[in-house]
């Protein structure tokens, strides 16, 4: 039995779950999310908990059991509280600002980098060159944060670039003169 899959998911107040036709839809105060359910997995709502069970002990059923439980938990947390990723900009002259539906980044290139903010994602820029990406879908929030980081990954010699908050960048020693 999957250690992750057998754990029940607590449903906070204001969150409702509907399963129909091979998909699950979770609605909450921040919005709604849906996900398709593999054929080997069943979902049951008992009171204020969601239970994920598998129909057989096949290899694919065991793999989908834990995965589906994690995806359902992420949907429940997303529609009730939401997710956010923080990024830090390190470097002299590097800065970011939100203009309309675009994130404009000045990262030392000859031109500013413009990133169109996807639907369902909110981006806020702090005064200390920090970027906060937030939304209800954990996967999309993480992907948007990774896309923004990819415009200027941290340099391993000076540490300049965009990094996740709390990310450690190992600084290499430069060339030594003889």
**Residue 5 confidence (pLDDT):** 85
Does the structure show a pLDDT above 70 at 95? yes
- Write out pLDDT tens, residues 148-169: 999 999 999 998 999 999 999 9
The answer to whether the pTM exceeds 0.85 is yes
Does the structure show a pLDDT above 60 at 114? yes
Share of the chain above pLDDT 90, in %: 80
**Residue 174 confidence (pLDDT):** 82
Does the structure show a pLDDT above 60 at 32? yes
Query: In Å, what is the CA distance from 92 to each residue of 25, 45, 52, 64, 159?
Result: 46, 53, 50, 47, 11
Cβ atoms within 10 Å of 172's Cβ, excluding its own: 8
């Amino acid at each position: 039995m999957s250690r992750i899959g057998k754990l029940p998911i607590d449903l906070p107040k204001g969150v409702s779950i509907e399963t129909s036709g091979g998909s699950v839809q979770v609605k909450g105060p921040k919005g709604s999310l849906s996900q398709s359910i593999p054929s080997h997995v069943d979902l049951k709502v008992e009171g204020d908990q969601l239970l994920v069970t598998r129909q057989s002990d096949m290899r694919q059923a065991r793999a989908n059991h834990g995965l589906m439980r994690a995806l359902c938990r992420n949907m429940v947390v997303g529609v009730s509280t939401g997710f956010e990723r923080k990024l830090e900009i390190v470097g002299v002259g590097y800065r970011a600002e939100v203009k309309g539906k675009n994130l404009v980044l000045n990262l030392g290139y000859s031109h500013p980098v413009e990133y169109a903010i996807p639907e369902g994602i909110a981006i806020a820029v702090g005064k200390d060159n920090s970027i906060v990406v937030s939304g209800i879908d954990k996967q999309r929030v993480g992907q948007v944060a990774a896309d923004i980081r990819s415009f200027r990954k941290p340099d391993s010699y000076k540490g300049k670039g965009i990094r996740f908050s709390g990310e450690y960048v190992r600084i290499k020693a430069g060339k030594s003169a003889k």
